[in-house]
Amino acid sequence: MTTPPHIAILPSPGMGHLIPMAEFAKRLVQHHHISATIIIPTTGPPPKAQINVVESLPENINHIFLPPVMNLPEGARPEILIWFIMKNSLLSVQEALKSLTSKTKLVALVFDMFGHDTMEIAKEFNLLNFLFFPMNAMALSFTFTLTKLDQESSCEYKDLTYPVHVPGSVSFHGRELMAPVQERTDEVYKGYLLLSKRLTLLDGIMVNSFEELEEETFRVLRSGTAGQTPIYSIGPLVQCGPSDGADRNQCLKWLDSQPNESVVLVSFGSGGTLSLDQVHELAHGLEMSYQRFLWILRSPSKASNASFFTASSENDPLEFLPDGFLARTVKRGLVVPSWAPQIEILSHEAIGGFLTHCGWNSTLESIVHGVPMIAWPLYAEQHMNAKMMTEAVDLALKIETDENGIVRKEVIEKVVKELIGGDEGKRISKRLKELKVASMKALSNEGSSMESLSKIALQLKK
């Protein structure tokens, strides 16, 4: 029996990168005669959530935790920390690949947008270089155009006097562009610009999206923007199966007693946090709407991404709610501190809407379960996702901030009511029910994403 091809998968830090890459590995090894090893950078003992993900994988997917990167820059933005960790893990990645080469038929290295410095290492071992792009086709299209944008302008993008058009999608104000390009003098920008220049040197790019969701963007990417680089739509890759957690039964039992499609899930993902003022405005807006809600609440912070590396809050988040809020909303709302099983919640028939930060994993989970959204972006590429969802593909309602960047209670009240009972909410809900079916079809045996996986497998077996 011939030895199966083996691939190394290198996610950058953050559960939002590990989970879709692990799901990709699962689909590839289950449907094709291929095995894999996930190489995971660390900054200390792996968190329980990471361990749970890798230990739940099939036996032909192994994992390696790299030696921890020490002396992290204090107070740095998440994207700076990620670049630092990946850069300082390069030697360990080289050692891991050397070890895998001696034990397996290693044919390819798959990395995400923070790991492209490993391309030279992969070439040393004569490996194929694949980019796993955990964002959408719109963000990839923007990444292809970044080199040209950089050459055409010298100011910070937030100061541009004209909109930035993304081929195959919508236009963005410079301040709406993703976080890695907001500071042109820092290392993250230089690294992301280098990724833009390297895109045409890759053996393939896998995008966690699907043809039916971003048909025009994929068409434009393949018709010239990407050059000869194969672009594979392989999504929607979201975590399946039950999650662990003490709050699981409480949330789901409470949802069991609510009418179908009546509850708004309010969650800002594994990393998002709000200021104290914004927590209070959100609480008052939910109360004024008289709609049912399930709110996953973190302790407030001045930084919107304060929980990126730690999903739990240090203090009891419930202490920061307005006086009497819990008592006044007890019959129609449930507030869960820090964490809840989002997948099971979104799949529950009582859920009628999702107020979301528009992280791409959460957005895909909402699409897969047919849940209409309110777009409330915070950081990373979320502002781009929000604009795409509200303007390009029409799957979410927009939310407006005031001149101080705060979403006021009257705005929250209005948009929550519209999502659950208004004409716009009903129209978006109908569209999402159609896309839910399309997403399932994409991952079925004859579907577009499964066809892409087959093409990747063919490349790996050459």
17 assigned to active site: yes
Q: Which two tokens stand for residue 298?
A: 């973190």
The C-alpha atoms of residue 243 and residue 452 are separated, in whole angstroms, by: 28
How distant, in Å, are the alpha carbons of 56, 62, 356, 367 from that of 295? 28, 36, 11, 19
Residues 6+ apart with CB under 8 A from 279: 297, 300, 320, 321
Q: Where are the alpha helices (DSSP H) in 104-136?
A: 119-124
Catalytic residue among 112, 116, 280, 357: 112
Catalytic residue among 17, 63, 348, 369: 17
Q: Where are the alpha helices (DSSP H) in 263-389?
A: 276-289, 325-328, 342-346, 360-368, 382-387
How distant, in Å, are the alpha carbons of 112, 134, 234, 251 from that of 206? 9, 8, 6, 35
Q: What is the number of other CB atoms lying within 10 angstroms of the CB of residue 240? A: 10
Secondary structure (3-state) at 160: coil
- Whether 298 contacts 333, CB under 8 Å: no
Compute φ and ψ for 326, nearest 5 degrees. -60, -40
244 assigned to active site: no
In the sheet where 128-133 sits, what is the strand order?
61-68, 35-42, 5-10, 105-111, 128-133, 204-207, 231-233
- Whether 300 contacts 273, CB under 8 Å: yes
Can you list the positions of beta strands (E) in 288-339? Answer: 292-297, 333-337
- Whether 5 contacts 32, CB under 8 Å: no
Catalytic residues: 17, 112
